Amino acid sequence: MTTHTTRMLILGSGPAGLSAAIYGARAGLQPIVVQGIQPGGQLTQTTDVENYPGFADVIQGPWLMEQMQKQAEHVGTRMMWDTITEVDLTRRPFRLIGDGGDVYQGDVLVIATGAQAKWLGIDSEEPLKGRGVSACATCDGFFYRGKKVAVIGGGNTAVEEALYLTNHSQDVTLIHRRDSLRSERILQERLFANPHITVLWNKEVREFVDGGPQAGLVALKLRDTVTGEISELAADGAFVAIGHHPATELFRGHLELDTDGYIAVETGSTRTSVPGVFACGDVQDKVYRQAVTAAGTGCMAALDAERFLQAAEFAELAQAAE
C-alpha cells in the first residue's frame, strides 16, 4: 500500500478533470489525477468532434483527450491509474482509498467523475453507436442535416433534443412508450406546435436496424406497447434521450446531492457543501453536458481551489502569529 500526497487531488480525467489539472499545475499545486474506470471520460467513446473550439477540421475524441492529458502532464500533473472505492471528507487533508489499497491525500479535492448517458440496453444498440445511434443531439445532430431522425424518450431531455434537431432536419420523430409525455408543459406546447416533429405514442424500440458498414442505421423496429404490433420506422439517425447517471454514488452521505443525484454546488462557483471540495463537469451539470462547458468548469474548480488554499494558509499564519 502506497500513500500519495498532493495539494490538489482530482478525480476524473475527462475535459473537466484535465482542465482543472492544467490550471492547478500552473499554479504550482502539483495535482494528482486519479483517472477512474474510464480514463479520458466520454470523449474517448466519441469519434468525430466538430464543436470543440480551436479546430477548423473534424478531430477525434480520443485524440483530443490524449492531447489534454499530455498538456496536463507537461505542466506537472501526475496521472494515476486507479479507481477510488472509499472517501473520508470529514477533515483535511481529504483521504481517499483506491481499489488496490493505495491512499490518496489532498489538501483540496476536485471531483470530475462525470455522468453517463442511459442507454436502452438492446443488443443492436452497441454496434451502431457512432454509426447512427447517439445519446447527444447537440453533439451529433449536425451530422444529420436534411436527414430523417428519431428521438427516443418522453422527458425534458427527449423533447429538448427533438426541438433542437429541427435546426438540422425537417423530419423528426419522437418515440415514447407511453401515451403522454413527462416533460414540462411549456416544452410540450413547443413540441406539438412544431410542424417538423411527429410523435409516435405507445411505441418501444426493439431493434436498431443495421444497413451495413457503409450505411449504418437505416431503420428502427418498434413494438406497440398496447397491441404488441411490430412496425418499422426508416431513420438515418436515432438519439436515445432517456436521461443520465451522474457518477456520484461514492459521495452519497458525504456531499449534498440534488434530487437527480448530481453534486450540488453554489451558484456561480464549483464549491460543494464541504469546504475544500469542488465539483466540475457533468457530475454537477445536467443542463449543458458539453466538453467545452466541462473544461470551463474545470478551470473554475482549479481557481476556486487555489483561492481556498490561499485563504486557508493566510488564516493559519494569522493564527500562528497570535
DSSP strand pairing (84-88 vs 94-98): antiparallel
Cα–Cα nearest to 173, from 234, 107, 98, 96: 234
Q: For residue 117, what are the contacts with CB-CB under 8 A and spacing of at least 6? A: 42, 135, 136, 240, 243, 244, 245
Secondary structure (3-state) at 170: coil
The cell numbers describing 292, all together, are 467545452
Q: Which residue has the higher pLDDT, 111 or 157?
A: 111
Q: Among residues 209, 241, 273, which one ends one of the domains?
A: 241
Residue 242: Cβ within 10 Å count: 16
Same domain membership, residue 82 and residue 229: no
- What average pLDDT does the chain have? 94
Whole-number pLDDT of residue 46: 66
Residue 315 has pLDDT above 70, yes or no: yes
The cell numbers describing 8, all together, are 490538489
Whole-number pLDDT of residue 322: 67
Distance between CA 311 and CA 304 in Å, rounded? 11
Q: Among residues 218, 241, 264, which one ends one of the domains?
A: 241
Residue 9 has pLDDT above 70, yes or no: yes
Q: How confident is the model at residue 47 (pLDDT cuts 50, 70, 90)?
A: low
Same domain membership, residue 81 and residue 98: yes
Whole-number pLDDT of residue 152: 98
Same domain membership, residue 261 and residue 197: no
Same domain membership, residue 210 and residue 137: yes
Host H or E run for residue 141: none
Q: For residue 185, what are the contacts with CB-CB under 8 A and spacing of at least 6? A: none
Whether the link from the prior residue into 127 is cis, omega within 30° of 0, is no
Same domain membership, residue 233 and residue 149: yes
Q: How confident is the model at residue 257 (pLDDT cuts 50, 70, 90)?
A: very high
Distance between CA 272 and CA 197 in Å, rounded? 40
Q: Among residues 219, 241, 263, which one ends one of the domains?
A: 241
**Distance from chain centroid for Cα 232:** 31
**Catalytic amino acids?**
136, 139-140
User: Mean per-residue pLDDT for 213-240?
Assistant: 96
**Distance from chain centroid for Cα 266:** 19
The cell numbers describing 305, all together, are 481551489
Lowest mean pLDDT among 192-201, 232-241, 307-316: 307-316
Q: For residue 210, what are the contacts with CB-CB under 8 A and spacing of at least 6? A: 124, 127, 128, 131, 216, 217, 218
Count of domains observed in the chain:
2
Same domain membership, residue 41 and residue 148: no
Q: Which residue has the higher pLDDT, 318 or 296?
A: 296
Residue 138 has pLDDT above 70, yes or no: yes
Residue 319 has pLDDT above 90, yes or no: no
Same domain membership, residue 192 and residue 90: no
Output the pTM of the full model.
0.80
Q: How confident is the model at residue 175 (pLDDT cuts 50, 70, 90)?
A: very high
Same domain membership, residue 128 and residue 99: no
Range of the domain at 98: 3-116+244-321
Lowest mean pLDDT among 30-39, 110-119, 206-215: 30-39
Q: What is the pLDDT of residues 78-110, one digit of tens each?
A: 999 999 999 999 999 999 999 989 999 999 999
Host H or E run for residue 204: strand 203-210
Q: For residue 246, what are the contacts with CB-CB under 8 A and spacing of at least 6? A: 113, 114, 115, 260, 261, 262, 263, 282, 283, 284, 286
Q: Is 250:104 a contact under the CB 8 Å cutoff? A: no
Residue 236 has pLDDT above 90, yes or no: yes
Distance between CA 91 and CA 26 in Å, rounded? 26
Whole-number pLDDT of residue 42: 79
Whole-number pLDDT of residue 117: 85
Q: Which residue has the higher pLDDT, 318 or 118?
A: 118
CATH number at residue 131: 3.50.50.60
Q: How confident is the model at residue 70 (pLDDT cuts 50, 70, 90)?
A: very high
Residue 45 has pLDDT above 80, yes or no: no
